[in-house]
Amino acid sequence: MRTRIIAFLILVGSAWAAAAKSDSYSILFDKRSHAFTLLQGKQPLLSDFVPEARFGSEVVTAADLPKVVKRTNGVEHPTFGRGKINSFRFTDGSRAMTLFVSIFHDAVVAQLTISLDNGSSLKSNYLSPIREQGTDIDKRGTRAREDAFRFLKVPYDNDSFMRYHLLPLDTVATSYEVAALFSPATRAGLAIGSIDHDRWKSAVTIDHGRLAAFSGISSQETHDVLPHGSLVGRQISSARFLITARTDWRDAMEQFARTCNSLQPGRKHWHHGTPFGWQSWGVLAEKNSFQTDLDVSDFMATTLRPAGYCSTDGTQVLSIDAWDNLNARQKRELCAHAHANGQVPGTYVTPFCLWWNDADLDRPLFKGCQYTGRDACAKVNGKPYKYDGAFCLDPTHPATLERFAREAASLKAAGFEYFKIDFTSNGMIQADSYYDPAVRTAVEAYNYGFTRFIQELDRGGRVFTALSIAPIFPYHYGNSRRIACDTWGKIDQSEYAMNAISYGWWTNEFYQFNDPDHLVLVGKDAAKGDVESLGENRARYTTGICSGMVLLPDVWSLNDRSGRGDARLSMERAQHIAMNAEVNAVGRIGRSFRPLYGGRQWRAETGAAENLVTLCTDSAIYLAAFNYSNEPLNVAVPITDLAPLPAPPVGGRAAKHKQSSPQDKESSPPRGELERGFELWTGEPITLRLNFKPDQPQVLISVPAKDARLIRLRIAHPHNDAIK
């Protein structure tokens, strides 16, 4: 079935790819329809879009406002560089909306602002700078077949086992804050997303090919019952939306993420390097105990650290989770024990959650508090709102803020320096209103409360904050964020984790570390005979290496009496898996791998992961291959897929390469000669197949069922091509 694809207009093949690389952006305006077309070179990217917004309760489009005034001004932006701002002000003498389209060398920024001509105040909870209409589109030029392209749906948060999805354009879907449209065959694509996360929940939607980008999303996936909160003022602006087209959509997503980080820097002060360590939830969970924690600390320090199971400077993390079963004295002693072992002690907090029953709500929020739990709760339709089993606290309420301060002070006094912050989505639920009357939207409330909580945690010394169940945006409150929901040790759970790396690796640009959750080797039901295989262990551990953070949760204590897992087997598996120095060295790079192909899922499901991911450094190319199936996997990867064309010669002199642009250098593999390669789990040298094409050798990879392989290809740089 053919449909008119309004969202993404490109000419298939090298002509468009060249345009995406070299030609500048421009905007066309139709005075009759008040519709816009965004082009790169001669190729339309977004076509026939008309901005619209809600004035009070009425939705108004630019086509409803007959008068228009256009202005163009030069601009020098600290993030985007030199460009020009095109403004189009529409009015009917009463209502006005202005679309700003700022055009820079390698990106476009669009924003919509509304006001009233008489200068009085108005309110709105919906502004859409871009909403494609799909009228008169046949006059716009050649259009790609809809089944050749995909829409990347980005989840709002990592709750309820949500996944990233690659969807055909002939569908209806919502992506949160950012989306991509691209060709899996050529990788040419477009990224569009919100670069402001201070007031709005924003979204990018696809509706049978028609694209829209707007601020003011409220849906079941954002866990909201109420519509998005309304902003009030004489002038109301949407978030700014970045649009960028590249020959490789992966580069476009990384550019979007780097732009976000430039405008609002992420929390990246942790100086120890990649976190390696232990957390209690994955196996022990609520059966955690003080003696087991001490034994685990000693096992990590004496057995695992010598094999490189530690950060660059030798640091390890020892993190206890919810229901830790430790009293105040034991917490202090555990922190002291961990510090003596060169470890950073961690604990668990849920600042926006009240884990009470309904009958408890009318008692003080904490001892001596003048407010009850009911007072401090966020209200939805007049009632305290519960999500994920906990009442949601109003992030602006003084009792909530005082509770923050007390909890942070107590835990830091005990010696904790690593804080797993869970269920933060509970702090971003749209409420009827907030204690602070200046706060009107869930995102404003979240930023208000989280800013205060971080200030309390950092009082007297900055700590590591690990977000768990949390929205992707805003991101600047966490050193790390768990990439997926609860993920244990079986191969299907490794595949679930790798879905988030396959299509969300780019969040590493603003989170210092992407957290793959607890890397279970021997699960809690091992005593019942339910034991993960060694291959599943390698696969799960490799997900941590490919994410850039490695925390195991196994029971490493022969004194443990929890009845969970198998301590002896866990210690054996840890020595087999976690003491591979070569593999751990890759983990200490601390960067997320990205999909090798970007659109080749391991099976025909929209939410499936890819099974080949790669990471490039100045000295090596790393390739991880996952086999999520019950059958052996044999893969041949051309060297040209791992390195830029022309392929660096194997065993000969490297060719000269022209100077790349700064953007190309950011994302392209390093230039040089592929010197040698090894598979790091087995230590075997890689095999190159040369009889396919002598000038295009292939790396042969064989992966047993439910297993993974990790390949390192060393790069030798000629003196005259040395990479600084």
CB atoms within 10 A of CB 659: 6
Q: What is the CA radius of gyration of the chain?
A: 27
What does the angle CA 639 – CA 643 – CA 646 come to, to the nearest 5 degrees? Answer: 85
**Ramachandran class of 646: left when φ > 0, alpha when ψ lies in -120 to 50, beta otherwise:** beta
Give the chain's domains with CATH numbers: 14-263 (2.70.98.10), 276-587 (3.20.20.70), 611-721 (2.60.40.1180)
End-to-end CA, the chain: 52
The residues pairing with 157 across neighbouring beta strands, listed in sequence order, are 471
Structure tokens, 450 = 């989280």
The DSSP secondary-structure symbol of 119 reads -
Q: Which residues of 393-423 are buried (b: 16+ CB within 10 A; e: fewer)?
A: bbbbbebbbbbbeebbeebbebbbbbbbbbb
User: Which residues fall within 8 angstroms of residue 540, CB to CB, at 6 or more apart?
Assistant: 489, 493, 494, 497, 519, 520, 521, 532
* C-beta of residue 388 within 8 angstroms of C-beta of residue 159: yes
**Model confidence, pTM:** 0.91
The single-letter code of the amino acid at 373 is G
* C-beta of residue 635 within 8 angstroms of C-beta of residue 697: no
**What's phi and psi for 609, nearest 5 deg?**
-85, 170
Q: Which residues of the chain have pLDDT under 50?
A: 1-22, 135-145, 645-667, 719-724
Distance (Å, whole) CA 489 – CA 574: 13
**What's phi and psi for 331, nearest 5 deg?**
-65, -40
The single-letter code of the amino acid at 303 is T
User: Which residues fall within 8 angstroms of residue 93, CB to CB, at 6 or more apart?
Assistant: 67, 117
CB atoms within 10 A of CB 573: 22
Beta strands in 548-658 (DSSP E): 550-552, 594-595, 612-616, 620-627, 633-638
Q: Which residues of 537-554 are buried (b: 16+ CB within 10 A; e: fewer)?
A: bbbbbbbbbbbbbbbbbb
* C-beta of residue 62 within 8 angstroms of C-beta of residue 34: yes
**What's phi and psi for 164, nearest 5 deg?**
-80, 145
pLDDT number for residue 426 = 98
Q: What is the four-CA torsion angle of 246, 251, 253, 254, rounded to 10 degrees?
A: -140
* C-beta of residue 263 within 8 angstroms of C-beta of residue 107: no
**What's phi and psi for 692, nearest 5 deg?**
-70, -60
pLDDT number for residue 21 = 39
Distance (Å, whole) CA 566 – CA 686: 35
DSSP H/E element including 716: strand 707-716
**What's phi and psi for 702, nearest 5 deg?**
-120, 125
pLDDT number for residue 93 = 95
Beta strands in 476-596 (DSSP E): 480-482, 513-515, 550-552, 594-595
How many C-alpha atoms does 542 have within 13 Å on its Cβ side? Answer: 32
Q: Do β-strands 379-380 and 418-421 pair in parallel, antiparallel, or remain unpaired?
A: unpaired
* C-beta of residue 479 within 8 angstroms of C-beta of residue 268: yes
Distance (Å, whole) CA 189 – CA 702: 31
Structure tokens, 691 = 């009889």
pLDDT number for residue 136 = 39
pLDDT number for residue 332 = 98
- Please give the full DSSP string across 172-215, using - where no structure is assigned: EEEEESEEEEE-TTT--EEEEEE---SS--EEEEEETTEEEEEE
**Own/partner long-range contacts of 565-573 (Cβ < 8 Å, ≥24 apart):** 565/283, 565/284, 565/522, 565/523, 565/524, 565/526, 565/527, 566/522, 566/526, 566/527, 566/531, 569/522, 569/526, 569/531, 570/283, 570/521, 570/522, 570/526, 571/299, 571/303, 573/521, 573/522, 573/534, 573/537
